[in-house]
Every structure is written in structure tokens, then in C-alpha cells.
Amino acid sequence: MLWAAQLRAEWREPAEVLSAFADEPWAVCLLSGGEGERGRWSYLARDPDATLTVTAGDARDPFSALADLLGPAQPPMAGGPPFQGGVVGLASYELADRIEALGLARQAAWPDLIGARYPAVLAFDRHERA
């Protein structure tokens, strides 16, 4: 179940707020920019309820594992920001080797896919500065 609340607070830059959580390994900030609607929102998330790391030696199907992490879709709060919680992740270029054998050189410490599911996010409305 998705739960959201809209709160007004004094404006702070998202990166400034993120610095308070610099020691948290899964804290993430999605920064936007520009004047259009697509540049309106930035987000900060921390303390995921589930995480996923798929490495080159992992036998799991990364796409099935990602689907499991995503879970069922939840209806968003009407009038809220476009992203109200969910999965944030990073897919490496080398993940393509799982789809088509390309023989890509791999960085030993770099995973093919990481993701974290955040049940809540802090949304920053850059246009309203709220």
C-alpha cells in the first residue's frame, strides 16, 4: 500500500539535505534541472525496504530478480509528484552480456545491476521551491 503526505517546509537544496545522510549506503538523490515540467521535481530516498545486487557470477536471472523487487504497481496519490516511492537502480553496460553474448570485459567490483525499493521519498518541487 502506498501512503503519501504533502508537507510544506523551508526550501533546502536536495543535495544539501542528502549530505545529512552521506554515511548511509543506500541513500540516493535524483536531481533534475531546467524550467520545463520534466525538470520540476527532485527526490531524496533512504532506508530501502529491499535491495538487489546482481554480479557477473550471479546465476539468477537479473530481470526476474528486478521484477520481484518491483512488486505489484501501486496507485499514486492524486495531485502528488510523479515519483512517490518505488525502485531506483543502476544497470551497467555489461548487463547486456546477459541478453546477448558480447564478450564484454568486466570490472570485478562493479555489479551488473543494483536496485533498491524505497517505500517513501522526499520530493522537492523546484518550481514552487517547496
120 within a domain of the structure (yes/no): yes
102 within a domain of the structure (yes/no): yes
29 within a domain of the structure (yes/no): yes
Paired residues of 122 in beta bridges = 44
pLDDT in tens, 37-78: 889 999 999 999 999 999 988 899 999 999 999 999 888 888
7 within a domain of the structure (yes/no): no
93 within a domain of the structure (yes/no): yes
Q: Range of 94's domain? A: 14-125
Find the mean pLDDT for residues 73-99: 87
Structural domains counted in the chain: 1
Question: What is the percentage of the chain residues whose pLDDT exceeds 70?
Answer: 95
Query: What strands, in cross-sheet order, belong to the sheet with 113-118?
Result: 50-54, 113-118, 86-91
Instruction: Please tell me the least confidently modeled range out of 3-7, 100-104, 106-110.
Output: 3-7
pLDDT value at residue 104: 77
59 within a domain of the structure (yes/no): yes
96 within a domain of the structure (yes/no): yes
Q: How far apart are the first and last CA of the chain?
A: 25
130 within a domain of the structure (yes/no): no
